[in-house]
């Protein structure tokens, strides 16, 4: 028995390969650019940029669930005989709705900026151009929201690689601009303009040019939007809106909370930089699940239960294995990297890092369950789960941040996610999807504990064997660890062994 059919494997692995470039660029944005910024900026200016960056990404969560709602509609249309006609009519109507919503959001945000001062609220009065930079990033990200509709169509039709590549190019343009801006001017304002420019160039190209090249039928029909229809779309999308904010927004919202409740500006940078590694890992896990979830959503729409079970279970194994290996490496080498990365300007907090890393790894199986729920129109379920998560986080964050600072935010994030998403959503999805949910849980937990434990022990074993210091020492010990992991995993090269292990995974 093979893991996936050949056509399905090509679509999924094609999506993963296209996302590698995007993930590398995310690594550049969130890790490699930080030492460059610190060379030209003070720690306070870096904190200001990280706060602005968080606010811009928080705006992405302002999509009121229309992205996921549209994706589910597109998946539903795939099973209909008049798929292209239905898709074109819905896309045309939803485009108008997206544009109208974006215009209203930009107008509302502009009005807020006219009467409030972000620098005063967030403690950056001494930072030149903070207010203007904050407004440019947040308004620019809002203008890019209509791209979500086209992205939903690409994913529903299996064009994961195409949209992944385009998003990567948008990121690359923005990053080149940021590097040029900080090196030539050292201006926070110039860097923010460059960052937004890459997002807007991508949005214009996708929305007005590329999506119609890929799907010519979109230009054949014009659709009108009635008030009743628009209200129905927002009602259907509401559960996805709550999910989107809880999944995307909480991480960045926590940065703003720490800015409000913690007087130490360096604490913002410490939290943001520590969250960087976790955000990157979460981004990788999400990218792994997206092609899988689209295929799972297709199986759900056509009622292919056997195929759905196999893909869900084996996709979970792939995700948990990757998450466990990545977490073990991060636990061992992140402290050394953090000190080199920040040049000692930002203090390292071991408790904060370990809490976030292990908590995210423990939540990894729920990432696939969440993506599948998004792609199978489980609106009421996701609404209940994410409302619970938001409530738990809000209460815990306010209480704990006031008492223990950034560590309180970490505890609030991890505990709310594990309780709501892993303890509730994952249990329900697995119980509905698989015939042996308890055995599934035992297998996933066993993989996680074994892999993380072995990875950490290998890392601690290679430390005394590594010569040198600084960057050279870190590079050599990472290479030794990777080599050791490769040796341990080498039996999986055997196709016969892989098939036996796959067959042993319980449905």
Can you give the pLDDT at residue 271?
Answer: 83
d(CA 146, CA 22) in angstroms, rounded, equals: 20
Q: Cα separations (Å) of 364 from 169, 316, 327?
A: 28, 9, 11
- State the Cα–Cα distance between residues 324 and 406, nearest whole angstrom: 25
Over its C-alpha atoms, the chain yields an Rg (Å, rounded) of: 23
Q: Render each residue's pLDDT in the chain as its tens digit; 507 residues.
A: 344 555 555 555 555 555 555 666 666 666 778 888 888 888 788 888 888 988 888 887 788 888 888 888 888 887 676 777 888 888 888 889 999 999 999 999 999 988 888 888 888 888 888 999 999 999 999 999 999 898 888 888 877 677 777 888 888 888 889 999 999 998 999 999 999 998 899 899 998 888 888 888 786 656 677 888 889 999 888 888 887 777 776 777 777 778 777 777 677 778 878 887 888 888 788 878 877 887 787 777 777 788 888 888 888 888 899 899 999 988 988 888 888 887 777 888 889 899 999 999 999 888 888 888 887 878 788 888 888 988 898 889 888 888 888 888 889 989 998 998 888 889 999 888 888 888 888 888 998 999 999 999 988 888 777 776 777 888 888 888 888 888 887 776 777 776 677 666 655
Domain boundaries, the chain: 1-225, 239-507
Q: Residue 6: what pLDDT?
A: 53
For the chain, helix (H) and strand (E) counts, in that order, are 23, 0
The three-state (H, E, C) secondary structure of 279-314, written as one string: HHHHHHHHHHHHHHHHHHHHHHHHCCHHHHHHHHHH
Nearby residues of 221 by Cβ (< 8 Å), 6 or more positions away = 85, 88, 89, 92
Predicted pLDDT of residue 138: 93
Angle separating helix axes 43-60 and 265-302, nearest 10 degrees: 20
Give, in degrees to the nearest 5, the angle at Cα 446 between 443 and 448. Answer: 110
pLDDT at 124: 85
Neighbours of 165 (CB within 10 A): 16
Structure tokens at 321: 């294995």
Question: What's residue 3's pLDDT?
Answer: 45
Identify the pLDDT of residue 9: 53
Instruction: With CA atoms as reference, report the closest residue to 23 among 248, 251, 203, 284.
Output: 284
For residue 290, the model assigns a pLDDT of 76
3-class DSSP string for 96-130: HHHHHHHHHHHHHHHHHHHHCCHHHHHCCCCCCCH
Q: What is the pLDDT of residue 136?
A: 94
Q: Residue 152 and residue 70: Cα distance in Å, rounded?
A: 6
Contacts of 30 (CB under 8 A, 6+ apart): 276, 279, 280
Tell me, yes or no, if the pTM score tops 0.85: no
Contacts 24+ apart (CB under 8 A), 206-213: 206/147, 206/150, 206/151, 206/163, 206/166, 207/95, 207/146, 207/147, 207/149, 207/150, 210/150, 210/162, 210/166, 211/150, 211/153, 211/154
CB contact at 8 A, 274 and 356: yes
Candidates 410, 369, 396; CA nearest to 278 is: 410
């Amino acid at each position: 028995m093979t893991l996936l059919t050949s056509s399905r494997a090509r679509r999924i692995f094609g999506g993963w390969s296209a996302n590698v470039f995007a993930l590398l660029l995310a690594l550049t944005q969130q890790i490699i650019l930080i030492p460059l910024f610190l060379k030209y900026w003070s720690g306070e200016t870096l904190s200001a940029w990280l706060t602005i960056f968080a606010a811009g990404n928080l705006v992405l969560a302002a999509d009121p669930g229309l992205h996921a709602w549209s994706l589910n509609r597109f998946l539903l249309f795939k099973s209909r005989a008049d798929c292209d006609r239905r898709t074109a009519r819905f896309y045309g109507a939803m485009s108008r709705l997206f544009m109208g919503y974006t215009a209203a959001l930009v107008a509302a945000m502009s009005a807020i900026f006219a009467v409030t001062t972000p620098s005063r609220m967030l403690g950056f009065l001494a930072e030149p151009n903070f207010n203007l930079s904050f407004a440019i990033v947040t308004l620019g990200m809002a203008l890019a929201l209509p791209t979500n509709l086209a992205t939903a169509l690409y994913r529903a039709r299996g064009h994961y690689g195409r949209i992944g590549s385009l998003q990567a190019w948008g990121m690359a343009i923005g990053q080149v601009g940021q590097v040029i801006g900080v090196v030539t001017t050292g201006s926070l304002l110039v860097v923010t303009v460059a960052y937004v420019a890459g997002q807007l160039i991508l949005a214009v190209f996708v929305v007005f040019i590329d999506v119609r090249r890929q799907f010519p039928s979109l230009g054949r029909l014009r659709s009108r939007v009635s008030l009743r229809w628009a209200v129905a779309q927002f009602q259907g999308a509401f559960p996805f809106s709550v999910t989107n904010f809880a999944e995307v927004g909480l991480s960045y919202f926590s940065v703003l909370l720490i800015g409000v409740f913690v007087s130490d500006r360096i604490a913002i940078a410490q939290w943001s930089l520590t969250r960087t590694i976790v955000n990157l890992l979460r981004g990788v896990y999400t990218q792994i699940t997206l092609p899988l979830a689209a295929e799972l959503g297709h199986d759900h729409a056509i009622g292919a239960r056997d195929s759905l079970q196999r893909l869900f279970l084996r996709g979970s194994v792939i995700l948990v294995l990757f998450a466990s290996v990545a977490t073990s490496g991060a636990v061992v080498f992140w402290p050394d990297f953090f000190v080199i990365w920040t040049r000692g300007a930002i203090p390292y907090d071991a408790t904060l890092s370990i809490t976030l890393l292990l908590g995210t790894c423990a939540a990894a199986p729920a990432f696939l369950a969440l993506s599948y729920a998004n792609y199978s129109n489980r609106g009421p379920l996701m609404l209940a789960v994410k409302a619970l998560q938001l409530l738990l986080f809000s209460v815990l964050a306010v209480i704990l941040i006031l008492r223990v600072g950034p560590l309180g935010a970490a505890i609030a994030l991890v505990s709310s996610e594990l309780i709501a998403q892993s303890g509730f959503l994952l249990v329900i999805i697995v119980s509905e999807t698989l015939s042996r949910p308890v055995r599934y849980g035992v297998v996933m937990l066993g993989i996680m504990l074994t892999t993380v434990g072995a990875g950490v022990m290998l890392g601690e074993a290679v430390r005394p064997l590594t010569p040198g210091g600084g960057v050279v020492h870190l590079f050599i010990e990472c290479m030794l660890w990777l080599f050791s992991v490769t040796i341990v995993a080498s039996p999986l090269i055997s196709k016969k062994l892989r098939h036996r292990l796959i067959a042993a995974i319980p449905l």
